[in-house]
Amino acid sequence: MTALIRWLGMLVLACFAQAATAADPAALYGQHCAACHGADRLGGMGPALLPESLERLRDSELDTVLRDGRAATQMPAFGATLAPPDLHGLARWLRSAPADAPQWSADAIRASHVVTHAPGTLPARPAFSADPQNLFVVVEAGSHHMTVLDGDRLAPVHRFATRFALHGGPKFSRDGRYVYMASRDGWVSKYDLWNLAYVAEIRVGINTRNVAVSDDGRWVLAGNTLPRTLVLLHAEDLSVARVIDVRGRNGDASRVSAVYDAAPRHSFIAALKDIAEVWEIPYADAAGRPLASLAPRAIVLDDVLDDFFFDQPYRHILGASRGGGGQVIDLDQRRKVASLALGGMPHLGSGITWQRDGREVMASPDLGQGRITVIDMQDWHTVTTVPTNGPGFFLRSHERTPYAWADAMMSPRRDTLQVIDKQSLRVVGSVTPSPGRTAAHVEFTRDGRYALVSLMERDGAIVIYDAATLQEVKRIPMDKPIGKYNVFNKTTRSAGTSH
């Protein structure tokens, strides 16, 4: 009897559920969303809506966007048009991959290429009086803008719109004239900082990680997660040179986790997310003479490496694997040469180096625990761990400052940066730009005198500190400034910042 009642109850529930989720999400998408986000979900005037595109959006945030739209953008609210079960079904459907894997062929890449200013047509001198070597670019993720900041006057020079969801870590040409940016949805843009104008754009993929620029200024390499490709562009106008399928020795395709320019080696390095290989792509020989063909060479590893640090000469990679544990890869010997006793979840990608007691040390934050790990770069032993307020993401310094700055972004103390003495390895001070609000990502002026901190909120700011006294000097309002990059420190590969 009870079994029968339960069965009847389930039948009623099933009918109800079916009535309530009557609408087919694919049909709803075609009717309400495709015009802006593309019938294939690859984007249009709105961003791409594939599972990879939405990785950083929490479920609750996705529900909110669909229901309420996004104020001051073209994204409408659907809370009044579509019933809650329809919205919920649509949100879940967006998290699933299309039956046919989305394609982005070399032809599609070429068709997206736009040159707004042909090479050589704009004046080869800055259109403003600021020191072009001491400019910063600030990525404002809130409303997708970039601000160009004069590092001497500590004031904005210009602000312009970028592609949707630009990644942090734009790259400069060696002379500092051009900045190359990559967006989540695969757009690579080249911007002339001296003339404050875009010069070229191209869509290299559907979901892109980042770009690297060769030290000789000839190449831009983009790493994609969708499709599984590396795209080599001519830096001059961003035209396509080659699309490289990323496949391991066993034939498995892999997403790219990041690409780097190993300038002293005259090569690009590609870190791969799904196969235990690192690729090196030389673009010049040892004497710096350009190579005609840029062919990847795989270095086979024991483990997939998730996170990477290079020493200053780009001889060694310090890598952390997913299961924890770290290793040192010698790029000349093309093999693992040491293990690192790291423990925890080190964020090697934001490691920095300096000299201490005549030895080079490397320090990196930990994504899981409040501590900075300091490693000796000669014998790879752990010198010490410096306890901090909580798990953090970035560690930054400069050759001309005695301190390294660490955030605690992934903890309740996310509003405070701690300042560590690089010789005593002790916390000697802290700054809290705005109590209760996230502060992280420090970059120094060219001379190391000022530290620029991001208040990473929609109504945020760049807060500027005297790097010696830790006194606030100024704050400049910004819309979620996720990162800022100084031309001189990046192009000279300062040991105090990632490159």
Please give the Cα distance from 57 to 174 (Å, whole number). Answer: 35
Closer CB to ligand HEC, residue 65 or residue 130?
65
Four-point Cα dihedral 301, 167, 91, 410, nearest 10: 80
- Per-residue tokens: 155: 């004031």
Please name which of 118, 86, 83 lies closest in space to residue 197, comparing C-alpha atoms.
118
Closer CB to ligand HEC, residue 95 or residue 234?
95
Element spanning 17, H or E: helix 2-20
Please give the Cα distance from 174 to 162 (Å, whole number). Answer: 22
As measured in angstroms, the least distance from the Cβ of 168 to ligand HEC is 16
Closer CB to ligand HEC, residue 62 or residue 464?
62
What's the residue count for the chain?
Answer: 499
Strand order in the sheet with 155-161: 155-161, 145-150, 135-140, 481-486
As measured in angstroms, the least distance from the Cβ of 71 to ligand HEC is 9
As measured in angstroms, the least distance from the Cβ of 52 to ligand HEC is 11
As measured in angstroms, the least distance from the Cβ of 215 to ligand HEC is 33
As measured in angstroms, the least distance from the Cβ of 77 to ligand HEC is 10
- Per-residue tokens: 369: 């625990």
Closer CB to ligand HEC, residue 75 or residue 115?
75
Closer CB to ligand HEC, residue 165 or residue 470?
165
- Dihedral sign (CA 160, 166, 167, 171): negative
**Three-state secondary structure call for residue 190:** strand
Please give the Cα distance from 237 to 43 (Å, whole number). Answer: 24
Closer CB to ligand HEC, residue 184 or residue 273?
184
Closer CB to ligand HEC, residue 76 or residue 344?
76
As measured in angstroms, the least distance from the Cβ of 69 to ligand HEC is 8
C-alpha angle 95-97-99 in degrees, rounded to nearest 5:
145
As measured in angstroms, the least distance from the Cβ of 166 to ligand HEC is 12
As measured in angstroms, the least distance from the Cβ of 480 to ligand HEC is 11
Cβ count within 10 A of residue 158: 16
Applying CB under 6 A, the residues found at the interface with ligand HEC are 32-33, 35-37, 45-47, 49, 53-54, 57, 62, 65-66, 70, 73-76, 78, 90, 164
Closer CB to ligand HEC, residue 90 or residue 262?
90
DSSP assignment of 238-286, as one string? --EEEEEE-B-TTS-B--EEEEEEEGGGTEEEEEESSSSEEEEEE-B-T
